[in-house]
Amino acid sequence: MCADALFRRGCLARPGTVRTVVEVTLGRGTILLWTAVAVLGIVSGARANLLNNPGFETGSFSGWTVVSGGASVIPDDSRSGAWAARLVNGEVRQGWVNLHGGRPYKAFAWVRIASETGSDWGGFRIEVVDANWQSLAHSGALLAETHGTNWFKVALSFTATTPRVLFLAGYFGGGGRTQVVHFDDCALVEDAPGNLPPAVNITLDPVHVSAPAPQSYRLSGDDPDGTIRQIVWEFGDGTRAFGWHGSRRVGLPGDFTARVLVADDEGLVVTQQLAWSARRADLPGVLITNPVSLELTTNAPVVLVSGTATGLATVAVSTDRGFYGLATGSNAWSISVTLQPGWNRIHAHHAERRIRYVPPGPLAVLGLSESTNTVERWEPLEITFQITNSAATHPHLPFEAHPPPGLAWVDGITVDGLFTPDNWQTIYRRPAFLWQPYARARKGGAEWMYPTNEPRWCVRFAPRRRACGSIASKYARPAVQGSRARGASPSCRPPTR
């Protein structure tokens, strides 16, 4: 009969066949934390600052015009050098600055909102206007609420529309707000191709911590042709922080490397790292002597972990992947640790190893099972299957060949189902997902959900078009992109049409 899109198993060669291909993209081969990507563009030579007395180092407003409000030059809160400007709802500006019409420029200023009271529209701003009094660049209202009370850098970009411009800094708003603002190190420079990386230094104080104790962290520096937009600290002991500086409490003993990720306003990322350590006398000592390497990859599902300990009757070993056990021995201890595919963090008290388990067999899609042999138009066709020998740590997260900096630990897996009603002239791609069936049960007057069996992969598709003749249900073949292990080539073929 001329069926209304009946889907039936096993008729692959007939016209109108719907084929299914399960396409598997596996977790990447390695975790790269804080990979430096300081790839520089072509940058021209030093760019001349077109402003006069940009840092107020004359000790005066020479080169500037005080337009309104309270304005003074102060010696006790400069961003650099000896002097900075202080405005109390004031405004200053440079005289007309000559530049080249049509060329790109950048304007910078360091600003600190020393105090702010009241509320009204507007706020402190940095602005560039052209000879026709058209605003070319504007920082927006800079408020303590949004920018805090520490020094920060304002970076503006504009294209000159006239041969001269004004550089303005000051309060523009209602009289119900009073802002005391310090600013320094202003600049107006012609833009150049490329992007310079942020130049930064980091400090930890103290570097060697007698834990438990606080440790402060501080990043200093600048992006010479822009601003620093994002700062992420990865201290190495499992803690993170954001921002230029702060303090945290250190409790974990060990030797660590702090890494700092710094991104500028054009997305260029540089990293800095600094070794530090913590010791504490009030904890038992546990060392892992085997494996020696802090990180390694293995094809064995069980790894022997051994070490030494002082001050402990038993040594407990656990992983972040569900293993827990007590080691044999105490002063010299050992235990067999069962690994899960992907990365496993093994902890023997505060000692740690990271081991990636890559199953040795070939990647395969097994146990394909359909919900039904035939479905009507718009009815769902559900195919479940298993994937063996995947090395993805997080099968519920998608695979990313090039994850953003800081997200490299998300080594997931992407599985798609491809469906075609016309021998691959038209392809419908549907994402598969790891599906954990549950059973409901009522216990103690409450409803509970219990997982039933192991999770399976599942992809669903409902045909939306009619087709004549018998339509086969599926044709499955795994295809692998990416790799499970570093440098490994795909072990399966791409979809066959």
CA proximity to 43, closest of 123, 106, 127: 106
Residue 160 CB, shortest distance to Ca ion, in Å, is: 21
Query: In the complex with Ca ion, which residue's Cβ is closer, 55 or 395?
Result: 55
Query: In the complex with Ca ion, which residue's Cβ is closer, 113 or 262?
Result: 262
**For 155, phi and psi rounded to 5 degrees?**
-125, 125
Residue 202 CB, shortest distance to Ca ion, in Å, is: 18
3-state DSSP percent of the chain in helix, strand and coil, to 5: 0, 50, 50
* Residue reference for tokens 């409450």: 446
Residue 152 CB, shortest distance to Ca ion, in Å, is: 15
Look at residue 37 and give its three-state secondary structure: coil
Query: In the complex with Ca ion, which residue's Cβ is closer, 141 or 155?
Result: 155
Query: In the complex with Ca ion, which residue's Cβ is closer, 225 or 237?
Result: 225
Residue 182 CB, shortest distance to Ca ion, in Å, is: 10
Look at residue 295 and give its three-state secondary structure: strand
Residue type, 236: G
Query: In the complex with Ca ion, which residue's Cβ is closer, 265 or 379?
Result: 265
Handedness of CA 120, 121, 125, 128 (dihedral sign): negative
Residue 265 CB, shortest distance to Ca ion, in Å, is: 7
Number of C-alpha atoms within 13 angstroms, CB side, residue 119?
Answer: 1
Going from the C-alpha of 213 to that of each of 63, 242, 248, 278, 384, the distances in angstroms are 50, 20, 9, 9, 53
CA proximity to 51, closest of 104, 96, 112: 96
Query: In the complex with Ca ion, which residue's Cβ is closer, 153 or 460?
Result: 153
Query: In the complex with Ca ion, which residue's Cβ is closer, 268 or 288?
Result: 268
Residue 266 CB, shortest distance to Ca ion, in Å, is: 6
Contact (Cβ atoms closer than 8 angstroms) between residue 230 and residue 270: no
**For 144, phi and psi rounded to 5 degrees?**
-60, -35
The alpha carbon of 345 is separated from its chain's Cα centroid by a whole number of angstroms, namely: 20
409: number of Cβ within 10 Å: 13
Residue 142 CB, shortest distance to Ca ion, in Å, is: 19
Residue 196 CB, shortest distance to Ca ion, in Å, is: 5
End-to-end CA distance of the chain: 27
Contact (Cβ atoms closer than 8 angstroms) between residue 381 and residue 19: no
CA proximity to 468, closest of 384, 377, 358: 377
Residue 227 CB, shortest distance to Ca ion, in Å, is: 8
- Cα separation, 107 vs 168, whole angstroms: 10
Query: In the complex with Ca ion, which residue's Cβ is closer, 55 or 417?
Result: 55
Query: In the complex with Ca ion, which residue's Cβ is closer, 182 or 349?
Result: 182
Query: In the complex with Ca ion, which residue's Cβ is closer, 226 or 412?
Result: 226
Q: Which residues lie near Ca ion (CB under 5 A)?
A: 55, 78, 81, 83, 184, 195-196, 223, 225-226, 264
Residue 92 CB, shortest distance to Ca ion, in Å, is: 14
Helix (H) or strand (E) holding 24: strand 19-25
